[in-house]
């Protein structure tokens, strides 16, 4: 594919090149035979390329009607093969590079969070902070046409990238993620906000695939005694929860109000995921002082334009009152579990 060409522009280019070959066939026999072979070779190349995954993954990144319907009714949908095997391998080698040499005792705590249940020499990382801002490989993916074209179908033409993370969930000690709604961490004026979680390893129940409660859910309470807990604190009917296993390269798109969780990783396999957040440009954070500034520090327009209006579709939102000294969802939930046990099966 030509750099920057859309699949349809590339097809037009391919057709044009064919036309040039055909128009030159009025030359001496010797030249014509050479050209016929060249044309044949080129055609075979085009056919071969159209069968390779990268070409198709660009063409196939369009949400289907039933996926959009499921997103509206259930709050999520699953998208197989969003990433090719080679894209997954590329991301994993970048994660290895970023995490190399880090231990519990010695790591850059502005970039990484380590799993707590290991010795000081332990190397298992829990989370890589903000990959789509700090590392070019992930940044360019977060701004790629491959991702933004389909996202336009659910967010409209003006899109803000909000934040990202890599949750490693390492083998045997990977942390639980308690039931929560992303929007509870940073309420917005409307619900046009989506997270996309991409499995970089095959994920199943044993290594802690994501679980979601389908349906249209209002914002639920995430606080106790006036302090934000980072997890749902009101009674939650988890009998309808679905596990969402998937092969590496599979993505889950879920709305900011979809309650989701994942169990600890008790398997001998990691469950690495890249998670990216986006919102419509007319969904503005409800300003809660310093905390909102912090939560929105990586936000940037990645498609279209800034919005001149804020759109409202939330009747009411809970306002999170964060405890001090917690850097992530994991740390908030660890703190919360000191007074109330885990609710994830
Ligand atoms: O990694 C997971 O299982 C879920 C992650 C999640 O919901 C989050 O980090 O906000």
Whether 260 lines ligand 1, by a CB cut-off of 6 Å, is: yes
Task: Give the whole-angstrom CA distance, residue 312 versus residue 305.
Answer: 18
> For a substitution probing ligand 1, which of 186, 197, 342 has the most ligand atoms within 8 Å of its CB?
197
Ligand 1 midpoint to CA 32 (Å):
61
pLDDT at position 3: 40
Ligand 1 midpoint to CA 331 (Å):
13
Q: List, for residues 82-110, the tens digit of each pLDDT value.
A: 999 999 999 999 999 999 999 999 999 99
pLDDT at position 47: 43
Nearest residue (by CA) to ligand 1, atom 1, is 167
* CATH assignment of the domain containing 269: 2.60.120.620
Phi, psi values for residue 211, rounded to 5° = -120, 140
Q: List, for residues 19-76, the tens digit of each pLDDT value.
A: 333 333 345 666 566 666 655 654 454 344 444 434 334 445 789 899 999 999 999 9
Query: Do residues 71 and 41 share a domain?
Result: no
Ligand 1 midpoint to CA 208 (Å):
10
Query: Do residues 37 and 138 share a domain?
Result: no
Question: Relative to the CA of 273, which ligand 1 atom is closest?
Answer: 1
Question: Relative to the CA of 260, which ligand 1 atom is closest?
Answer: 7
User: Residue 10: which pLDDT band, with cuts at 50, 70 and 90?
Assistant: very low
Residue 237 lies in a domain: yes
Query: Do residues 186 and 277 share a domain?
Result: yes
Query: Do residues 26 and 114 share a domain?
Result: no
Residue 205 lies in a domain: yes
Query: Do residues 133 and 238 share a domain?
Result: yes
Nearest residue (by CA) to ligand 1, atom 3, is 262
pTM: 0.83
Query: Do residues 270 and 160 share a domain?
Result: yes
Closest alpha carbon to 248 in 274, 224, 230, 268: 274
Ligand 1 midpoint to CA 22 (Å):
55
Which range marks the domain in which residue 26 is found? 7-51
Query: Do residues 68 and 11 share a domain?
Result: no
The tally of domains found in the chain comes to 2
Query: Do residues 136 and 13 share a domain?
Result: no
**pLDDT above 70 (res 322):** yes
Residue 102 lies in a domain: yes
What does the H/E/C string look like for 290-335? Answer: HHHHHHCCCCEEEECCCCCCCCCCCCCCCCCCCCCCCCCHHHHHHH
Query: Do residues 15 and 149 share a domain?
Result: no
Query: Do residues 16 and 111 share a domain?
Result: no
């Amino acid at each position: 594919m030509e750099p920057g060409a859309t699949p349809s522009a590339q097809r037009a280019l391919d057709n044009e090149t064919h036309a040039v070959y055909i128009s030159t066939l009025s030359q001496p026999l010797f030249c014509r035979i050479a050209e016929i072979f060249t044309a044949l070779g080129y055609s075979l190349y085009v056919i071969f390329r159209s069968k390779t995954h990268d070409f198709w993954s660009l063409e196939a990144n369009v949400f289907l009607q039933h996926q959009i319907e499921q997103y509206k009714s259930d709050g999520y949908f699953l998208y197989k093969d969003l990433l090719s095997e080679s894209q997954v391998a590329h991301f994993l080698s970048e994660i290895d590079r970023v995490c190399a040499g880090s231990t519990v005792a010695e790591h850059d705590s502005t970039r990484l969070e380590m799993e707590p249940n290991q010795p000081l020499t332990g190397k298992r990382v829990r989370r890589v902070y903000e990959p789509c801002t700090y590392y070019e490989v992930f940044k360019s993916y977060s701004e790629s046409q491959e991702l933004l074209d389909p996202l336009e179908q659910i967010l409209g033409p003006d899109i803000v990238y909000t934040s990202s993370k890599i949750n490693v969930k390492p083998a045997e000690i990977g942390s639980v993620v308690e039931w929560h709604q992303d929007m509870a961490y940073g309420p917005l004026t409307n619900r046009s906000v989506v997270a996309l979680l991409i499995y970089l390893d095959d994920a199943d129940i044993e290594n802690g695939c994501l679980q979601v409660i389908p349906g249209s859910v209002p914002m639920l309470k995430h606080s106790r005694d006036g302090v934000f807990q980072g997890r749902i604190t009101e009674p939650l009917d988890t009998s309808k929860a679905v596990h969402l296993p998937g092969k590496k390269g599979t993505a889950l798109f879920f709305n900011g109000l979809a309650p989701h969780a994942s169990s600890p990783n008790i398997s001998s396999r990691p469950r690495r995921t890249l998670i990216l957040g986006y919102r419509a440009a007319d969904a503005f954070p409800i300003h809660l002082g310093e905390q909102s500034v912090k939560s929105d520090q990586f936000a940037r327009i990645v498609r279209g334009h800034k919005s001149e209006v804020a759109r409202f579709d939330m009747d009411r939102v809970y306002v999170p009152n964060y405890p001090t000294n917690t850097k992530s969802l994991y740390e908030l939930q660890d703190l919360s579990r000191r007074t109330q046990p885990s609710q994830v099966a």
